[in-house]
Structure 1
Amino acid sequence: MQNDKSKFKDEFKRRIYRFALEIIKFIDELLKEKTSETIGKQLLRSAISIGANVAEANAASSKKDYTNFFNYALKSANETKFWLGLLRDSGKADKTMANNLLKETTEIANILASSILTLKGKR
């Protein structure tokens, strides 16, 4: 039987994976213009990097290494928010979808930031 902490970690990993799938759908629906494609590529890189870094953290060799991967994931989440906002505000993406993804990105970033503080013993 899993404890609450283990269940939360598993659900967080699933949540990040589902988020990456939603980002892929979002990018596939962008207008087929040079700027949309360029920004979409940047968004894809930063968004999937969140999940990749969380996955790498699970194979970390130390607490410091684990924390560093969470820091990288948080930086990627912040970058993702930038690209989503840019696409939304430039009118190149559906505003409702972009806002929903921004909300999810913010929640993921908050979880990562909180986890980092806990790992560093500041919470």
Structure 2
Amino acid sequence: MKDDAKPRDLEDRTFRFAELVRGFVKQLPRTISNTEDVRQLVRSSGSVAANWIEADEALSRKDFLMRVKICRKE
């Protein structure tokens, strides 16, 4: 596997994760208690992919590590 294939693979996997989360929440019952939890879950799942893309394009190692930590928090 080429070195540049790994970051791309992680980008694809995080994007796919966000898609799977969206599919999952569509199956949940629509209740008042689920509404905010579903919104937060969808936002967080997409945020992981977005933050990984930002990390992949980081200007420095310090910036990269900070953005990866954000991904892990999400």
Fold conserved (TM > 0.5)? yes
- 5+ residue gaps in structure 2? none
Partner of 1:74: 72
Q: Percent identity?
A: 27
Report the 3-state secondary structure (helix = DSSP H, G, I; strand = E; otherwise coil) of the residue aligned with 2:4.
helix
Give matches, 1:103-122, under 5 Å. Answer: none
- 5+ residue gaps in structure 1? 77-123
Partner of 2:27: 29
> Is 1:8 matched up with 2:6?
yes
Q: Which has the higher contact order (CA 8 A, sep 6+)?
A: 2
Question: Quick one: which amino acid aligns to residue 33 of structure 2?
Answer: T
Question: Alignment RMSD, CA only?
Answer: 1.2
Answer whether contact 2:7 2:56 (CA < 8 A) is retained: no
Question: Quick one: which amino acid aligns to residue 35 of structure 1?
Answer: S
Distance in 2 of aligned mates of 1:71 and 1:54 = 10
The C-alpha deviation readout for 1:15-46, integer Å capped at 9, x for no partner, is 11111100111111111101111110111111
1:51 to partner: Cα distance = 0.6
> Is 1:42 matched up with 2:40?
yes
1:5 to partner: Cα distance = 2.2
Would you identify which runs of 4 or more consecutive aligned residues in structure 1 move more than 6 Å? none
Give matches, 1:83-98, under 5 Å. Answer: none
Q: TM-score, normalised by structure 2?
A: 0.90
Aligned residues: 74
1:59 to partner: Cα distance = 2.1
Partner of 1:53: 51
